[in-house]
Structures are given as C-alpha cells and as structure tokens.
Amino acid sequence: DPPPEMGQGIDARFILGMAKLGERVSILLDMEKVIGDGGGGILQKEEGDEGDKGEG
C-alpha cells in the first residue's frame, strides 16, 4: 500500500517506518530521535517547555 497522507500537524521525523500486518498497523520509531541526544527529541522538548513556564 502507498504511505498515508500526513496532515500538517504531524511531526514525522521520529518515524522510521510503518508496517501493515493484516488489519494491524505498527509504527517504527527512531528512539535516538525520540529520546533526543541532540536536543531535539520529544522528551527534551517537553522538559524544556515545563521549565520555561515559571520564568518571566
């Protein structure tokens, strides 16, 4: 099957691929990017957002 269309609100840089197994769909994530060794990961972004709330 061709890949599905992704909306503008989807950040696909963490997705390595997708697999369809019968009626199920699995999404393969790049854990190095999710965890964020380089400062751009989801987990680091959320931690940084929380720290910014109390400042200012």
Task: Please tell me the predicted confidence (pLDDT) of residue 44.
Answer: 58
Task: Please tell me the predicted confidence (pLDDT) of residue 48.
Answer: 56
Q: What is the 3-state secondary structure (H, E, C) of 1-56?
A: CCCCCCCCCCCHHHEEEEEEECCEEEEEECHHHHHCCCCCCHHHHHHHHHHHHCCC
Per-residue pLDDT 10s for the chain (56 aa) are: 666 676 666 677 888 888 888 989 898 988 888 887 665 666 655 555 555 555 54
Task: Please tell me the predicted confidence (pLDDT) of residue 22.
Answer: 92
The full set of domain ranges for the chain reads: 12-44
pTM of the model: 0.48
